[in-house]
Amino acid sequence: MNVQSSFDYLLKIIIVGDSAVGKSNFLFRFVEGKFSQIYQTTVGSDTKSKICTLPKIKKNVKLQLWDTAGQERYMSINKIFFQKVQGIILMYDITQRESFENLQKWTKLINETTFNVPVVLVGNKIDNEEERIVRIEEGENYAQDNGYLFYEASALSGKNVDNVLYDLSEKIVSNFESSFSMTLNESDFIDFKSTKKDKNNNTKEKCC
């Protein structure tokens, strides 16, 4: 299978968190392998995509990555982008206590707009360890209390950026495949499609 031209699943993943925690650069690092020193506030939302192979389960996926604004005035707009999302990255800045404390409002938004969607909590900017304010144990405890995956990462150095997206994507696919026969409803999964051909009828399967 040519990973550049075909994929098994299309996954819609949204990244949320306070403004300036590094969401845009995190996705830019994953998609382009680069880091931008120029800070630009995301207005509303931005979308990036990448086809990759998940290393543990050997599935080719196309990730549709939605970058959202972190300012309070965009909260109502952000709710729209949670529709039919399959995974969520919730990010804070380990050097900014307020961004960690505000995780509660983001968790509230997630709980109000989604159900049983995998979430990975990411403490960003570990390259700036000397200015750390939020201890790793605090992030681990928050993730455990809410049933989230957890990583600390650096968009600047690239540390754990790929791992965050790979682990979250693998969890989405694993959860979906394990419950496929019980939950499949074509109208519920218009953003999550399999391009695998059925051996019997040689047609494309739609999964979500």
23 occurs within a structural domain: yes
171-198 tens-digit pLDDT = 999 988 887 643 334 344 334 444 444 4
CATH of the domain at 26: 3.40.50.300
95 occurs within a structural domain: yes
| The pTM of the whole model exceeds 0.75 | yes
13 occurs within a structural domain: yes
When divided into structural domains, the chain yields a total of 1
134 occurs within a structural domain: yes
Supply the pLDDT for residue 84.
Answer: 84
Q: How far is CA 123 from CA 139, 141, 182, in A?
A: 7, 12, 35
What letter represents residue 100's amino acid?
F
DSSP H or E segment with residue 125: none
Supply the pLDDT for residue 176.
Answer: 86
Q: Quick check: 92 and 18 in contact, CB under 8 A?
A: yes
Supply the pLDDT for residue 104.
Answer: 96
206 occurs within a structural domain: no
4 or 166: which carries more pLDDT confidence? 166
Supply the pLDDT for residue 82.
Answer: 81
Provide the mean pLDDT of the chain.
Answer: 81
Q: Which of 1-10, 102-111, 127-136 has the lowest mean pLDDT?
A: 1-10
197 occurs within a structural domain: no
pLDDT of 70 over the 80 cut: no
Domain that holds residue 172: 9-188
